[in-house]
Amino acid sequence: MSGHEPPSRDEQADSISEETTRIHDDSYEQELTSVDTVVNEDMVASVLRYPLTPAEEVVIAAGRSDAVQAGRHESQLVLEPVLRAAVERATGRTVTRFLTQTTLEEQGLVVEFYTLAPAADRDQ
């Protein structure tokens, strides 16, 4: 064997989930219920689940779930640079696209999707 082995996709996914959890805990001052991340050849997808805040529950009960969803979506867009950086650190590749979608049911659910630049060719 020669040199340092790059992290496996599972290790990359774990690192992204841990960093995403830290970023959200710091930003929202609220713990996520769970983060599940999958790293593929050219993309990363994370599913974040979180409890709704009491204030969000009041707004939703008043029939304005759209306002909560829009607020969460805008917050995700503000966090995009640090989320991209976490994915780039874990994968060693440049994120070329970031998409985020939020939905509200009994709890909040966010899907974050990243596309990755092609990996540098490695000698085998």
Residue 13: how many CB atoms within 10 A of its CB?
22
Candidates 53, 50, 59; CA nearest to 102 is: 50
pLDDT band at 123 (very low <50, low <70, confident <90, very high): very low
| Higher local confidence (pLDDT), 3 or 63 | 63
Residue-wise pLDDT for 42-59, tens only, equals: 999 999 999 998 999 999
Question: Which tokens hold the place of 105?
Answer: 């049911």
pLDDT at 21 over 60: yes
pLDDT at 1 over 90: no
Whether residue 60 contacts residue 104, with contact meaning beta carbons closer than 8 Å, is answered with yes
Mean pLDDT value across the chain: 91
pLDDT at 63 over 50: yes
pLDDT at 97 over 80: yes
**Strand order of the sheet with strand 95-104?**
34-39, 43-50, 108-116, 95-104
Q: Give the DSSP letter of residue 98.
A: E
Cα–Cα distances (Å) from 111 to 12, 55, 94, 97, in that order, read: 17, 22, 19, 14
User: Looking at residue 15, what is its pLDDT?
Assistant: 98
Question: Which tokens hold the place of 43?
Answer: 């993309």
The fold of the 9-116 domain, in CATH, is Threonyl-tRNA Synthetase; Chain A, domain 2 (3.30.980)
pLDDT at 20 over 60: yes
User: Looking at residue 122, what is its pLDDT?
Assistant: 40
pTM for this prediction: 0.87
